[in-house]
Amino acid sequence: MKNHVVSLRHTETPAVQTETLASLEASLGAERCKTVIERAVFEMTDRLWLLEKLLRDGQVQEVERIANSLVTISTQIGLSEFALVANDLAECVSRKDVNAILAVGARLVRVGERSLYLAVQFPENAG
């Protein structure tokens, strides 16, 4: 029997709710909105780094808490796809599905990288 290795392409298309970001900009003003988004992106980046470290070290007990906090922050700035994947990760942890935790954790990082980039670009591209 021959072993075949199949390479899968990881193409993640982040969904950004521009109406949420536009509403935030309308209520806060352009400069304050940019500051809020940048602060949220910083917090999310920090938590993603910690999440990756915990997953690498096999410390899943904290992963659910971090995933839930990522859901909250990402929802507030319109990163809907990111929020869905973070919620999926929290559910995998609560089910104690180790294989799914690792797979969904990796997906969250991929979606996170693109989503956070789009969020930071929004204020500059909105006007």
- What confidence tens digit (pLDDT) does each residue in 53-77 have? 999 998 888 999 999 999 999 999 9
Kindly report, residue by residue over 5-63, the tens digit of the pLDDT.
Answer: 545 455 566 677 888 888 999 999 999 999 999 999 999 999 999 999 999 998 888 99
**pLDDT in the model for residue 121:** 84
**Rounded Cα distance, 44 and 120, in Å:** 12
* Residue with tokens 């109406």, as numbered in its chain: 19
State the residue for tokens 């021959």: 2
| Domains contained in the chain, CATH given | 18-126 (1.20.120)
Q: What ranges in the chain are assigned the alpha helix state H?
A: 18-28, 30-56, 63-76, 80-95, 98-126
pLDDT at site 58: 87
For 31-37, the CB contacts below 8 A with 24+ separation are 33/123, 34/123, 36/77, 37/77, 37/119, 37/120, 37/122, 37/123
Mutual angle of helices 63-76 and 80-95, in 10-degree steps: 160
Give the model's pLDDT for residue 61: 83
What is the mean pLDDT of the segment spanning 67-91?
95
- Predicted TM-score of the model (pTM): 0.83
For the residues 95-113, what does the mean pLDDT come to?
92
Q: How far is the C-alpha of 103 from the C-alpha of 64, rounded, in Å?
A: 14
